[in-house]
Amino acid sequence: MVATSSSVGSGAAGAATFAGSSSRKYNYYEPRGKRPTHYEDMTVDVQPDPERYLIQNWIIEFDGGKGGGAYTKDSTAAKSSNWHEYRAPDQEWERTHYQRQSKIVTMVQGVVANSRRSGAHQAFDKSWNRILQAHLGAWKHVEFGLGTSLMQAQRYGYTQMINNATLTNSSYKMRFAQDITLYLAEIGMDIDGWDDDLGKKTWLEDPIWQPTRKAVESIMGAEDYLEQYFAINIMFEPLVGELFRSGFLMQVAAANSDFITPSVISPAEADYERNLANTIDLMYLLANDETHGAGNKALFKTWIDKHGDLADKAAQALQPVWSQSHSKPVSFQEAKAVADERVGQILAELGLDR
């Protein structure tokens, strides 16, 4: 409901009437369900909007901005009849996010510490040691790049609900990049000849990784914050992220006597399920908007073509990684088929295809 003022132009307390303004209960917004959730209390309208309750117009504006206030709808080419309708399915806000992150970090630290104590990493196949140094070491740069992109994107979301979803997504990526860095550094202290710098060198110089680098840097360079969010979770993650994490590391590690790495990787897969659900809900609202749905679908198709092509090339270039381990329980073709099916299912939920 848009706020109205009983005295035109007044910003005084009590000047506006809105849903619940005459009630003694704290219900100034329309909840999605029967009753407001704690998540809604902590996010809805926390980020101000002159079209709702800021009847005195914007109270802040940044120098060098696009003008029109602290937040503008034209930060994305997508359009919505009501940006405030979105609610993230994971209902995550600051406290719940910190609690979940803390539990994950504690779990990963426990796994690595116990593994080092028992010498489990000493049993890794030698070819697998190099794969971890080079390719898992390169992957942390992917996670950091995507996290940085989302960190920038969240500044431009028009509502707190959208910004919360993109910022927690960024935080999960940053935490996982840190998880990988610390994991490799710790097991590397006990393995002769371990090279902590090989991952960075592989990321910057190995031809296998350059298409992935291009895909990530193209997302980072996008100026539309929803394009970044869409490209990461709808296209890149199923076609490249899950392909490498689940289709390679999680499948191949145990066959090469590594029972530690899957425990470090698995929280990132759970993170993605949450991030994907949040992204699908937002994009579904935009794709089915009564006024702007058709235009948004056409826009999404351009993002699919652009970032889908980059992700396909990145995935294909990674194929040689599957042949570098001593034991090969799954082929690249099998993993790629799963990835292609996965992205098709995600797009179908939005009424889109490739």
**pLDDT tens digits for 103-114?**
999 999 999 999
Question: Where do the domains of the chain lie?
Answer: 1-71, 94-349
158, 73 Cβ separation under 8 angstroms = yes
Return the SS3 of 4: strand
Instruction: Round to whole Å and give the CA distance between 278 and 120.
Output: 37
83, 93 Cβ separation under 8 angstroms = no
**Residue 303: both structure tokens together:** 């993002």
Q: Residue 351, CB half-sphere, CA atoms under 13 Å: how many?
A: 13
**Domain topology for 94-349:** Ribonucleotide Reductase, subunit A (1.10.620)
121, 190 Cβ separation under 8 angstroms = yes
Q: How far is CA 214 from the centre of its chain?
A: 18
Instruction: Round to whole Å and give the CA distance between 265 and 1.
Output: 44
Q: Is 183 left (phi over 0), alpha (psi -120 to 50) or beta?
A: alpha
> φ and ψ at 344, to 5 degrees?
-65, -40
Q: How far is CA 201 from CA 195, 196, 212, 235, in A?
A: 10, 10, 14, 26
pTM for the full predicted model? 0.89
Return the SS3 of 51: coil
Across the strands, what pairs with 4?
17
**Residue-level pLDDT, tens digit, the chain, 354 residues:** 444 444 445 445 555 666 566 666 656 677 778 888 888 888 888 887 888 776 667 766 666 555 566 788 989 999 999 999 999 999 999 999 999 999 999 999 999 999 999 999 999 999 999 999 999 999 999 999 999 999 999 989 999 999 999 999 999 999 999 999 999 999 999 999 999 999 999 999 999 999 999 999 999 999 999 999 999 999 999 999 999 999 999 999 999 999 999 999 999 999 999 999 999 999 999 999 999 999 999 999 999 999 999 999 999 999 999 999 999 999 999 999 999 999 999 999 999 999
Return the SS3 of 71: coil
Task: Name the nearest CA neighbour of 204 among 194, 195, 218, 214.
Answer: 214
Instruction: Round to whole Å and give the CA distance between 221 and 223.
Output: 6
Instruction: Round to whole Å and give the CA distance between 89 and 120.
Output: 38
Residue located via tokens 């425990």: 263
150, 232 Cβ separation under 8 angstroms = yes
Residue 275: CB partners within 8 Å, gap ≥ 6? 165, 168, 169, 172, 233, 237
